[in-house]
Amino acid sequence: MNLLEIKDLKVDYTTKSGVSGETKLVHAINGVNLEVKKGEILAIAGESGCGKSTLAKSIMRLVDIKGGEIDYRGDNISNLRSLKDIRHFYQKVQMIFQNPYSSLNPKMKIGAILKEPLIINKKLSSKEMNKIIEEKIGQVGLDKSVLDKYPHEFSGGQRQRIAIARSLILEPELIIADEPVSALDVSIQAQIINLLKDLKKNLDLTFVFISHDLSVIKYISDRVAIMYLGEIVEIGQTSEIFSSPKHPYTQALLSSVPQIGTDENKSAISLAGELPSPENLPPGCKFHTRCSHAVDVCKTTSPQEHEFTPSHKCKCFLYLNENSMI
């Protein structure tokens, strides 16, 4: 069953150039189609600037959508306008941010931070709220003594546990985790990743897990979508993507992941040039400016999706059949 369906999503936003002050239009999401199945961890991977975080914000209704639709449990949530409807949606879908330092109000004690969503969304007695708060803080591996302290009294890993507890307080079905471990020390990352895995299993949660770290993605996710300049260029089961990557961009990303504990000595495929600016998208296949396989048609025409298995798909002219233009 699909919890979330994203159909031909497009998001633009404007930005000001630092030097000239000129306003520029950024094409952040350019026709994303994606389904999130109940109970899975779907990872979104790609370089910084590929549109991963904008996609997360689109799902959370934190940015305006230019085109397309987002359905949650079959209901179009792209047009939610009233505070009441948006609050109702946030009871089911929550977000964990990259930086636990900035996502917790430094002037509030942890108990008050966790109580706030319950006061806004539920009609519960103080005793009932305290029971839920103590249960959630326990589920993230912390003692209830933390409730009387301020965020600055905790380490980065402990703060991220508190942020996770806050995301659980309304008992959501879906959590959007945007680079949830990238601001943490490497030694703490594994603890938080294992906590998210345990929570998914024990609380029957679904995750959209956004990361640039393919080692983390390989460990935690059930499926992976690879994003490039606001498009999904390849999607598949995690095992399919890591054992048989098809898109030249996916192949280049994976070739740079260290192969710990194997004798494999894959040489990294270097990507030519920088990620093009989303203000000036290349025509045709958006990867053609950096692809060593690119031919003329790639420069003018966008490739359609090719299906390798029902779950493994990729957009690249290399895999078109005998009618291929390559």
Query: Using CB under 6 A as the criterion, which residues of the chain lie in contact with ligand SF4 when the complex forms?
Result: 247-248, 285, 287-288, 291, 293-294, 298, 303, 316-318
Tell me the CB-side half-sphere exposure of residue 104, using CA atoms within 13 A: 30
Phi first, then psi: what are they for 220, rounded to 5°?
A: -100, -25
Residue 108 or 320: the one with the smaller Cβ distance to ligand SF4 is 320
Q: How far apart are CB 237 and ligand SF4 at their closest, in Å?
A: 21
Instruction: Give Cβ neighbours of residue 12 (< 8 Å, ≥ 6 apart).
Output: 25, 26, 27, 28, 66
Tokens of 177: 């985790």
CA 30-176-167 angle, to 5 degrees, is: 150
Q: How far apart are CB 301 and ligand SF4 at their closest, in Å?
A: 9
Q: How far apart are CB 217 and ligand SF4 at their closest, in Å?
A: 21
Residue 115 or 288: the one with the smaller Cβ distance to ligand SF4 is 288
Partnered with residue 93 across adjacent β-strands are 174
CA 217 to chain centre: 11
**Closest residue by Cα to residue 28 from 47, 59, 49:** 49
Residue 51 or 248: the one with the smaller Cβ distance to ligand SF4 is 248
Residue 194 or 300: the one with the smaller Cβ distance to ligand SF4 is 300
N-terminal to C-terminal alpha carbon distance within the chain: 37
Residue 108 or 318: the one with the smaller Cβ distance to ligand SF4 is 318
Q: How far apart are CB 249 and ligand SF4 at their closest, in Å?
A: 6
Q: How far apart are CB 130 and ligand SF4 at their closest, in Å?
A: 55
How many helices and strands in the chain, by DSSP H and E? 9, 12
Q: How far apart are CB 166 and ligand SF4 at their closest, in Å?
A: 41
252/230 Cα distance (integer angstroms): 18
Residue 172 or 248: the one with the smaller Cβ distance to ligand SF4 is 248
Query: Which residue reads 């999130």 in tokens?
Result: 36
Q: How far apart are CB 284 and ligand SF4 at their closest, in Å?
A: 7
Q: Is the dihedral of CA 177, 182, 183, 187 positive or negative?
A: positive
Residue 180 or 303: the one with the smaller Cβ distance to ligand SF4 is 303
326/320 Cα distance (integer angstroms): 8
The H or E element spanning position 162 is helix 156-168
Helix (H, G, I), strand (E, B) or coil at 203: helix
Q: How far apart are CB 245 and ligand SF4 at their closest, in Å?
A: 12
Residue 35 or 305: the one with the smaller Cβ distance to ligand SF4 is 305
